[in-house]
Structure 1
Amino acid sequence: MAGDKSYTTSEVAKHNKEKDMLIIVDDSVYDVSEFVNEHPGGAKILKRVAGKDATKQFWKYHNEGVLKKYAPKLKVGTVKETAKL
């Protein structure tokens, strides 16, 4: 089922290319590869945060309704914490 995979932040960071873009919002990972050109705020913004934690930027411009609307289609997993040494 979609949304069940666990990612580390370094795994997400590898997905920062034109056709392979993941972002993190809160502790969830979203695949915005296909959504990038549909994004009402423009593709450039998503490209800038691809592979990164976009939580702060996301909540600055969106409300929870946006997340509820798009999460079922775009969420691919969650962030797992890596061991801190």
Structure 2
Amino acid sequence: MSQQITKAEVAQHKDEKSMYIIVDDGVYDITNFLEEHPGGAKILKRMAGKDATKAFWKYHGKGVLEKYGGKLKIGTVKEEAKL
């Protein structure tokens, strides 16, 4: 079963030691992917700790997520209670 991670928890992972992003409902640990990213590490660092869905789909096709998603995905976004 996939780990459930809140958006607040993702937001804590935005430095050199640990970087997470959200794409759709998936949470991805991009910490060790920075140097592999064809577009460079700079954009990933800028998106770390955030929901990168809109930016991701603007520049990537479904095949990119299929290729890299399996090794980078660490969980899904946990639904938070709405008040």
* 1:19 partner letter: K
C-alpha displacement of 1:19? 2.2
| Aligned residue number for residue 64 of structure 1 | 62
% identity of equivalent residues? 69
2: distance between equivalents of 1:58 and 1:82?
A: 23
The alignment yields a C-alpha RMSD, in angstroms, of: 0.9
| Aligned residue number for residue 32 of structure 1 | 30
C-alpha displacement of 1:17? 0.5
Unaligned residue ranges in structure 2 (runs of 5+): none
Which consecutive aligned stretches of 4+ in structure 1 deviate over 3 angstroms post-superposition?
none
Match of 1:23 among 1, 21, 24: 21
- SS of the counterpart of 1:30? strand
C-alpha displacement of 1:37? 1.2
- SS of the counterpart of 1:81? coil
Question: Number of aligned pairs?
Answer: 83
2: distance between equivalents of 1:59 and 1:26?
A: 9
- SS of the counterpart of 1:34? helix
Q: Which has the higher helix share?
A: 2
1: distance between equivalents of 2:66 and 2:26?
A: 12
C-alpha displacement of 1:33? 0.2
